[in-house]
Amino acid sequence: MKTYTLKQFQKDFPNDEACLEWLMQSRWPNGIHCKKCNRVTKHHRLTNRPKYSCQFCGNHVSPLAGTILEKSSTSLYNWFYAMYLMASTRCGVSAKQIERETGVTYKTAWRMYKQIRSMLGEDYNLEGSSVEVDETYIGGKRKGKRGRGAEGKSIVVGAVQRKGKVVAKKVENVKANTLVPFVTERVLPKTIVYTDELPSYNKLPKMGYDHRRIHHASKVYVMGDIHTNNIEGFWSLVKRGINGVYHAVSDKYLQNYLDEYAFRYNRRDNPAGMFNAFVSRVVTSARAE
């Protein structure tokens, strides 16, 4: 299956009950352990609440407990559909679209997307022999050379494995004491690290990296295997999405948007499983009960 179609989604999740059952099966694939009975017991769905009750002692458990869905009055179907829309695009989807397609208010749609993005952050260490690192500016209009006239713009640094995963982080500046720790935290020593000519990366060889540069200022963009085209391609994807779909993103929430784009990018080879990856985060990011 190359993609997960809307028809398939509607078949798998036709209503709130189907969504709740999926959450229950995903949270407790081996059965629900009843705390009062101190063993795995059979639980029955309550008709008036999104909970399940132990058939022996009547103790209640909720698949929504500890998740972003726990205190929401919005239907589970709309939550799942919002995640389906986010999983079905490369450049993102606006809150206005979910407002139009589900009938919820814009405020509710915006809150839903904010909550979904909050669970997409991942803590990756990039393995592999080659990693590209680059920084970019997002928002507003920047004039002048690198790092100058950047008022109103947010600074982001990213690293990507060639033919692999990406990590991106909002930072305060492009100084060495900011960028070098980002590399050392995410990239294993002895890795070949490709960057442009920014002086902030000068310390990488002393940190145990095989550092290779491409000189963009000299209008050189590829020299053999030396380039940063992959990370620049990711920046292009992010900027197209922000400019074309969201139009503007505040500095306060930028990291959540970066997490969303990185989450999809890191699963780009499995579009059929993208929705499952999104909705599974509801379970894996749930707080302990």
pLDDT digits (tens, 9 = 90+) for 218-261: 888 888 899 999 999 999 999 999 888 887 888 899 999 999 99
Please, which pLDDT band fits residue 1 given cuts at 50, 70 and 90?
Answer: low
Same domain, 106 and 223: no
Q: Which residues contact 32 (CB under 8 A, 6 or more apart)?
A: 24, 40, 41, 43, 52, 54, 61
What is the predicted pLDDT for the residue at 223? 86
Contact yes or no for 286/64 (Cβ under 8 A)? no
Percent of the chain with pLDDT over 70: 94
Model confidence at 29: pLDDT above 70: yes
DSSP 147: T
- Secondary structure in 3-state letters for 75-135: CHHHHHHHHHHHHCCCCCCCHHHHHHHHCCCHHHHHHHHHHHHHCCCCCCCECCCEEEEEE
Pair (96, 197) in one structural domain:
no
Do the domain assignments include residue 261? no
Residue 195 predicted with pLDDT over 60: yes
Q: What is the pLDDT of residues 108-127, one digit of tens each?
A: 999 999 999 999 999 888 98
- Is 28 found in the same domain as 134? no
Residues 203 and 274 in one domain: no
Choose the weakest-confidence range: 153-167, 183-197, 236-250.
236-250
Flag whether pLDDT at 151 surpasses 70: no
Looking at the structure, do residues 54 and 149 belong to the same domain, yes or no?
A: no
Same domain, 15 and 86: yes
Q: Are residues 52 and 70 in the same domain?
A: yes
Average pLDDT over residues 178-207: 95
89 vs 93: CA distance, rounded Å: 7
Residue 106 placed within a domain:
yes
The whole-number pLDDT of residue 148 equals 45
Choose among 108, 50, 55: nearest CA to 78: 108
Together in a domain, 158 and 246: yes
* 3-state SS class at 15: coil
CATH number reported for the structural domain that contains residue 160 in this entry? 3.30.420
**Residue 84 falls inside a structural domain:** yes
Task: Please give the residue range of the domain that contains residue 220.
Answer: 130-256
The H-or-E segment that residue 175 falls in is none
Domain-located, residue 264: no
Q: How many CA atoms within 13 Å lie on the side-chain side of 287?
A: 7
Q: Is residue 262 part of a domain?
A: no
Residues 273, 239 within the same domain:
no
Residues 48-103: pLDDT tens digits? 899 999 999 999 999 999 999 999 999 999 999 999 999 999 888 999 999 999 99
289 is a domain residue: no
Question: Which whole number is the average pLDDT over 11-40?
Answer: 95
**Number of domains composing the chain:** 2
Burial (CB count within 10 angstroms: exposed 0-12, middle 13-18, buried 19+), residue 122: exposed
Does residue 251 share a domain with residue 218? yes
In a domain, 92, yes or no: yes
In a domain, 183, yes or no: yes
**β-strand 166-171 against 52-54: which pairing, if any?**
unpaired
Residues 100 and 141 reside in one and the same domain? no
- The identity of residue 79, as a single letter, is W
> Phi and psi for 8 in degrees, rounded to 5?
-65, -40
Residue 205 pLDDT grade (very low, low, confident, very high; cuts 50, 70, 90): very high
The pLDDT of residue 289 is 53
The model carries a pTM of 0.90
Q: Cβ(37)–Cβ(23) under 8 Å?
A: no
Contacts of 114 (CB under 8 A, 6+ apart): 253, 256
**Per-residue CA distances from 50 to 30, 61, 83, 133 (Å):** 20, 9, 20, 46
> What's the pLDDT score for residue 150?
52
